């Protein structure tokens, strides 16, 4: 009898085999003839994912999706240390996916098998040039500020260096999701090239920015408290945090600079040892489809990476979408990851000492 995804997952964790969803007749099949696709993902909005994403795919391809749930680090480590892993597709942050590319964990993607990839927005399409998995959702950084309290407008990241903002700003900690993006913003301010100078110009810019920075932050909830208490009047934030922050401080304005912003992606990759690569390709193509990305933009609050998706104004609100997505630039984590230990040390000496 077909079991629920949760029961399948529990059995997978305890037995490391897919016997919990029916007696297996051969690799990837159960007694009812349905193949199983194992997806490693975050444990968020599982009911919505099951209804909107997984169930239609299961019906179309006569298969059963089994979930492996956990944090990014937990799931990545599990796959990296288990060569017999049954995972077929893994959802990861862009930074962690880059580690997997370097380690040779993932299939080099044949994009001729993913027709919907042709419609990816520019920054997401740039990521596919590595030959690894595509991004299925995007967020980006901008500036939140209290226009009334400041008495003037902020329109660009370069405005953060204005002397009038002394002691008024918070920026993301280097170890947070958008810490590396802040390095790119600082690099742009000084006209540097991170690939060649390894962040030297960015740190010059951060030295100049330091008088304006009250403190760095790691969690958007901390930022909401700082705005609400009046401790800060300006912050560099990820757009996914806007609702949380505005709930605490509704007077704030959010700006995505017209000159462009930096994107962060969630990606899908195929385990190079997968026994179901054909089905994995079909699933990734489905995840990038106009039909599904239009639906998940509303039900899962995911900004689409498919450029053909058209969202209503209310659904598009606070998402990296339209011109913002078109102008967003990708962060090169193949450059960032090896430099990060050194960056953390320099960052702490400049901003946290």
**Residue 118, Cβ neighbours under 10 Å: how many?**
13
Mean pLDDT in residue range 337-353: 95
**For residue 24, is pLDDT > 80?**
no
This prediction's pTM: 0.84
Cα–chain center distance at 199: 22
Which has the higher per-residue pLDDT, 21 or 274? 274
Residue 220's pLDDT is 82
Q: What is the mean pLDDT of the chain?
A: 90
Residue 196 or 221, more confident: 196
Checking if the pLDDT of 27 tops 80, the result is no
User: Mean pLDDT over residues 299-326, rounded?
Assistant: 95
Residue ranges, CATH 3.40.190.10, the chain: 5-138+265-326, 140-262+331-351
Number of H helices, E strands in the chain: 17, 10
Q: Is the pLDDT at 12 greater than 90, yes or no?
A: no
Q: Are 33 and 89 in contact (CB under 8 A)?
A: no
* Whole-number pLDDT of residue 221: 83
CATH fold of the domain at 5-138+265-326:
D-Maltodextrin-Binding Protein; domain 2 (3.40.190)
Average pLDDT over residues 101-128: 95
Read off the pLDDT band of 15 (50, 70, 90): very low
Size of the chain, expressed as the number of residues it contains:
353
- Compute the distance between CA of residue 14 and CA of residue 17 in angstroms, rounded to an integer: 8
Mean pLDDT of 198-209: 98
What pLDDT sits at residue 26? 43
At 197, the pLDDT band (50, 70, 90 cuts) reads very high
pLDDT over 80 at 28, yes or no:
no
- pLDDT bin (cut points 50, 70, 90) of residue 18 is very low
3-state secondary structure 73-89: HHHHHHHHHCCCCCCCE
Coil, strand or helix: which one is 229? helix
pLDDT at residue 157 is higher than 50? yes
H-type alpha helices, the chain: 5-15, 46-48, 55-61, 72-81, 94-103, 122-127, 147-150, 179-190, 194-197, 200-209, 220-229, 242-248, 277-287, 290-299, 313-316, 323-327, 333-351
Fold of 140-262+331-351: D-Maltodextrin-Binding Protein; domain 2 (3.40.190)
| Backbone dihedral region for residue 180 (phi beyond 0: left; psi -120 to 50: alpha; all else: beta) | alpha
Q: Summarize the confidence of residues 62-69 as an average pLDDT.
A: 97
């Amino acid at each position: 009898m077909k079991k629920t995804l949760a029961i399948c997952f529990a059995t997978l964790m305890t037995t490391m085999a897919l016997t919990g969803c029916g007696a297996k007749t051969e690799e990837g099949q159960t007694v009812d003839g349905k193949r199983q696709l194992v997806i490693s993902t975050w444990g968020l909005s599982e009911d919505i994912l099951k209804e909107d994403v997984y169930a239609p795919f299961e019906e179309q391809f006569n298969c059963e999706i089994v979930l492996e749930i956990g944090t990014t680090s937990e799931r990545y480590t599990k796959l990296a240390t288990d060569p017999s892993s049954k995972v077929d597709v893994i959802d990861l942050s862009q930074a962690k996916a880059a580690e997997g590319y370097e380690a040779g964990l993932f299939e080099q993607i044949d994009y001729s098998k993913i027709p919907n990839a042709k419609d990816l927005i520019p920054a997401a399409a740039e990521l596919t040039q590595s030959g690894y998995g595509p991004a299925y959702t995007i967020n980006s950084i901008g500036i939140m500020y209290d226009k009334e309290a400041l008495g003037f407008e902020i329109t660009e990241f370069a405005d953060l260096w204005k002397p009038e903002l002394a002691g008024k700003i918070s920026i993301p900690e280097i170890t947070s999701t958008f810490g590396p993006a802040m390095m790119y913003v600082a690099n742009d301010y000084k006209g540097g090239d991170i690939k060649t100078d390894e962040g030297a110009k960015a740190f010059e810019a951060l030295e100049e920015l330091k008088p304006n920075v009250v403190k760095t932050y790691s969690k958007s909830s901390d930022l909401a408290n700082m705005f609400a208490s009046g401790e800060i009047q300006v912050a560099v934030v990820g757009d996914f945090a806007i609702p949380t922050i505005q709930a605490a401080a509704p007077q704030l304005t959010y700006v995505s600079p017209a000159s462009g912003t930096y994107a962060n992606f969630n990606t899908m990759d195929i385990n190079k040892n997968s026994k179901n690569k054909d089905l994995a390709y079909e699933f990734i193509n489905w995840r990038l489809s106009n039909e599904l990305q239009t639906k998940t933009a509303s039900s899962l609050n995911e900004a689409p990476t498919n450029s053909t998706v058209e969202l209503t104004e209310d659904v598009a609100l606070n998402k990296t979408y339209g011109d913002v997505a078109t102008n967003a630039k990708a962060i090169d984590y193949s450059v960032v990851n090896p430099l990060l230990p050194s960056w953390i040390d320099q960052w702490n000496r400049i901003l946290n000492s």
